[in-house]
Structure 1
Amino acid sequence: MIYNRKLTRALAASVLAFAASGVSAAESPITIVINQSPWFPGFQAVVEKYEEDTGNTVELDVNPFAGSLEKQRTAVRADQSPYDVLIMNAGFFSEFYSGGFMQPLTDIDPAFSLSEDIYTFDDSVCWNAEDKKISCDGGGLLSVPVNPNVLILHYRQDLYEEAGLSVPTTWDELYDNAKALQTDARYGISQRGQRGTFDVTYDVFPYIWSHGGGIVDQQDDGSYRVTINSPGTLAGMETYLKLAADVGHPSTAGQTQTNVIQNMATGRAVHINSVPAPGLFDDESKSMVVGQVAYAPPPGTSEFPSATPLGHWLAGVPKNISDDHKQAALAFLTWFQSDEAQRAYAEAGSMPVSRAVLESDMADQPEYRWMKALAAALPNARLTFTFPEATQVLAVTELRFNQAIGGEMPLNQALNTAAEEITKVMQDAGYDLPAPEMLP
């Protein structure tokens, strides 16, 4: 799907816009490859504003998640990339960093820097090529964040007020509230459980982290340990499955992100843990719960605090494009960081990556009530995978988590099988990993 808007402007108006934006005139047209997602309409609106403000042209090549990844992989290995900006996900950006495919942004313009208001998301914007690790300490700046895309709790504020319930901070409290508000006409909670590229794996992280579990954890010495079949991961998944069985959708293993969001929008779910889509929930043409959805950080446990995975998106410039296209790409990324662009992004219904906007007076307005929950969740947000073999590991976890949720395989067996398969993936890639301890 291609969006191409070549706009003409009167010369006087264009000159004024260029001066106001700080972006140079007559940049080369650029093409951005991006995924279709709940936040895409907001990004599209900001791109249109960029074109209006500057007179520059941007094409958006929009694809499903997996399709976007494959196009990016092909593009960076071609003689010349057809894309000038890659929108990379937290699950696979390290593959492009470690492969040496991305152009350090300060090599395009030594004066370029990340705005101090923009989150670095666990330093994921930087790559230390010498030490082969994600770090802004001695690492080059390779990208600019474009969307936080973290999971936060959505709940029906109107139903909470009617029942006199408090916002849950633990999974036990969430279970009790879901049980109290569940009816034949609505689920206590709707959870994503379908297998995809980075789908069910992404959504179970708040459960397993808040029980002390993990999937593949990096140790202090830089080594890795497979923890998907640890007691903490088992406990987290038992919590997930309890919610699914007692107060969840009857076919949780088949629920996509779109299904989950629609269950909330149509009034069929009291709770969801999802990336925010406030523009949808408050759109009278798409939602039956306008003004009724409220937001909070995901629950935790008495031992471990709330934690949400960084499924964020980063915009980088591939090395294999012409210098004028690199300059044009950087012009867009410079403009995107501005307070004006970030506010417009929020106004279009997407999540800004600017701390200044999230903590601004916008957060006190009803239509931006999600901002405070997002700002509260981000300090505890964590990177999920920091090694280039992440996509191979995800192929394992997507299958095994889905099988456990769907009842095709007992949970203990699914986690043990995944641990063995992930260990083999990592060992085959050259990592020195101990054999995982098996759950009984």
Structure 2
Amino acid sequence: MTFTIPRRTILKGIGAAGLGTIIPGAIRPLHAASVAPITVVINQSPWFESFRKTVEAYEAETGNKVELDVNPFAGSLEKQRNSVRASEGQYDVLIMNSGWFTEMYAGGFVEAITDIDPGFKLDPDVYTLGDTIYYNAEKKSVTNDGKLMSIPVSPLIPMLYYRGDLYKEAGLSAPKTFAELEANARKLHNPPEMYGIVQRGARGPHTVAYDFYPYLYGMGGGIFKDQSAGDYSVTLNSTEGKEALDYYIRLAKEAGHPKTAASDQAEVIQAMVTGHSAHIMMVIAAWSQMDDPNKSAIVDKVEWAPPPSAPGLPTAPGLGHWLAGISKNVPDDRKRAAVEFLRWFQTKAAQLETAKAGGIPVNAAVYKEPIAEERKYRWMKPLAEALPHAVNIYQFPEASEVIAVLEVGLNRAVAGEVPSADALNGMSDEIEKIMAGHSYKTGKLDPIK
């Protein structure tokens, strides 16, 4: 359901008052205490409530107004695409997912924050998340030699959730390798009362693919050879890729849920909070639901760890983060107001509010605060351990086309409709055609058997 707060049009011009003369072709740095109201287009997600509460704290502290247009995942993207292509945008702040932020950068739809306010300074403790907040238009690359295009909103990566109480009873230790995870899942597997692990396998806008990334990259595989160097040769159907997909399918069949191919995020979380799963590999944004007595039957029983990996390789969770960029086709007073919100949002104080509201802080200083020692926030230290190893999966604007291919192919493989090798070879062929069609340097491996 879409929830929209009507725009307060009568307040639209407040931010312009007292700013003085604007130099033609430029936007003055913001100095006004009050600014125009802004509208943020955002998705409904497990972390939305924490964002909403943080916005309420901003409004209470500053008196400035922020309206939220809340939509399902795909609906948010559709609204953003429509707004940025209009003569004047409806939305001032775009909450962009890792799957489409490059599209907004490369398309020229997002205004660099430092072009709006040359005096804006990024808080040095803010996670840059693979430097995805920057964009170099000349190189067409997401690199820190580019302009500051956005501020992180939620540094989401998947983490391993596991039942600490069951681990203690069985004498188990948090798994560091995939072999250890499989052994632990098998040991605790007792269906239908308890599944060793519940995984996401449903097809969606960015569903089974996102949950597969920690396995693929954690086993040394990948989708492309070297995106940073501009080499988009497809490597999905490598030996490591097949090992990862075979492992994912085996877990589902032998230590997982019988309806993995139909399970989406809601079903995976539900299995955990109702006490029917020993493990899930889920985006960290769902942490607060585990200890919510109104939603969970396992309060204080879940622990967290970085996703496992193959021996000798680091954990490799895929970035599924969200970034806040400022739309280029909105009036200058709203751009300045958006900058002021982001300036406040990135601070340690604001991010402490986010953590207390159940969200994931984007400021590393919060993870060093006493709050990280509290039992309620026991996920913070494992997350801080994993974040430096997070992988930016896509560095090109057509990522959604590749994701669509993965969603179909991986879902069919998990459902048992096609063998893993056939699924990988088929997806690789389609992805290679997509990249060639967009004139990227590409190629593919020989079919794997």
State the one-letter code of the partner of 2:386: A
Given candidates 282, 288, 304, the residue that maps to 2:313 is 304
1:31-430 pair list within 5 angstroms: 31-137=39-145, 139-184=146-191, 185-218=193-226, 221-276=229-284, 277-430=286-439
Instruction: Judge which range, 150-159 or 355-364, deviates more.
Output: 355-364
Secondary structure, aligned partner of 1:198: coil
Give yes or no for contact 1:2–1:59 (8 Å, CA) kept in 2.
Answer: no
Query: Which whole-Å CA distance do the structure 1 matches of 2:138 and 2:435 have between them?
Result: 21
What CA deviation, in whole Å up to 9, does each residue of 1:103-130 have, x standing for no partner?
0101111110210010000110000011
Query: Which whole-Å CA distance do the structure 2 matches of 1:30 and 1:435 have between them?
Result: 46
Query: Which whole-Å CA distance do the structure 1 matches of 2:348 and 2:391 have between them?
Result: 25
Secondary structure, aligned partner of 2:330: coil
Instruction: Judge which range, 60-69 or 300-309, deviates more.
Output: 300-309
State the one-letter code of the partner of 1:171: F
* Structure 1 residue 303 displacement after superposition: 3.6
* Structure 1 residue 219 displacement after superposition: 5.1
Q: What residue number does 1:12 align with?
A: none
Query: Which whole-Å CA distance do the structure 1 matches of 2:330 and 2:105 have between them?
Result: 16
State the one-letter code of the partner of 1:199: T
Give yes or no for contact 1:216–1:385 (8 Å, CA) kept in 2.
Answer: no
* Structure 1 residue 262 displacement after superposition: 1.1
Query: Which whole-Å CA distance do the structure 1 matches of 2:229 and 2:255 have between them?
Result: 42
State the one-letter code of the partner of 1:218: D
State the one-letter code of the partner of 2:330: I
State the one-letter code of the partner of 1:322: P
* Structure 1 residue 211 displacement after superposition: 1.4
* Structure 1 residue 218 displacement after superposition: 2.1
* Structure 1 residue 361 displacement after superposition: 1.7
* Structure 1 residue 39 displacement after superposition: 0.7
Structure 1, unaligned runs of 5 or more = 8-21
Give yes or no for contact 2:218–2:314 (8 Å, CA) kept in 1.
Answer: yes
Structure 2, unaligned runs of 5 or more = 9-29
* Structure 1 residue 3 displacement after superposition: 5.0
State the one-letter code of the partner of 1:177: N
Percent of counterpart pairs with the same letter?
A: 49
* Structure 1 residue 358 displacement after superposition: 1.5
Instruction: Judge which range, 215-224 or 171-180, deviates more.
Output: 215-224
State the one-letter code of the partner of 1:285: N
State the one-letter code of the partner of 2:114: T
Query: Which whole-Å CA distance do the structure 2 matches of 1:252 and 1:319 have between them?
Result: 42
Q: What residue number does 1:2 align with?
A: 3
Query: Which whole-Å CA distance do the structure 2 matches of 1:23 and 1:35 have between them?
Result: 31
Number of residue pairs aligned between Structure 1 and Structure 2: 425
Instruction: Give TM-score scaled by structure 1 length.
Output: 0.94
Query: Which whole-Å CA distance do the structure 2 matches of 1:419 and 1:368 have between them?
Result: 41
Instruction: Give TM-score scaled by structure 2 length.
Output: 0.92
State the one-letter code of the partner of 2:153: V
Give yes or no for contact 1:423–1:436 (8 Å, CA) kept in 2.
Answer: no
Give yes or no for contact 1:123–1:136 (8 Å, CA) kept in 2.
Answer: yes
1:8-27 pair list within 5 angstroms: 24-27=32-35
Secondary structure, aligned partner of 2:94: strand
State the one-letter code of the partner of 2:60: E
Query: Which whole-Å CA distance do the structure 2 matches of 1:286 and 1:393 have between them?
Result: 35
Query: Which whole-Å CA distance do the structure 1 matches of 2:343 and 2:31 have between them?
Result: 8
State the one-letter code of the partner of 1:42: S
State the one-letter code of the partner of 1:418: M
* Structure 1 residue 231 displacement after superposition: 0.9
* Structure 1 residue 212 displacement after superposition: 1.4
Structure 1 residues 384 and 355 mapped into 2: Cα distance closer, same or farther (>3 Å)? same
Give yes or no for contact 1:4–1:58 (8 Å, CA) kept in 2.
Answer: no
Structure 1 residues 24 and 373 mapped into 2: Cα distance closer, same or farther (>3 Å)? farther
What CA deviation, in whole Å up to 9, does each residue of 1:179-198 have, x standing for no partner?
11122301100111111111
* Structure 1 residue 25 displacement after superposition: 2.8
What CA deviation, in whole Å up to 9, does each residue of 1:47-80 have, x standing for no partner?
1111111111111111111111111111111101
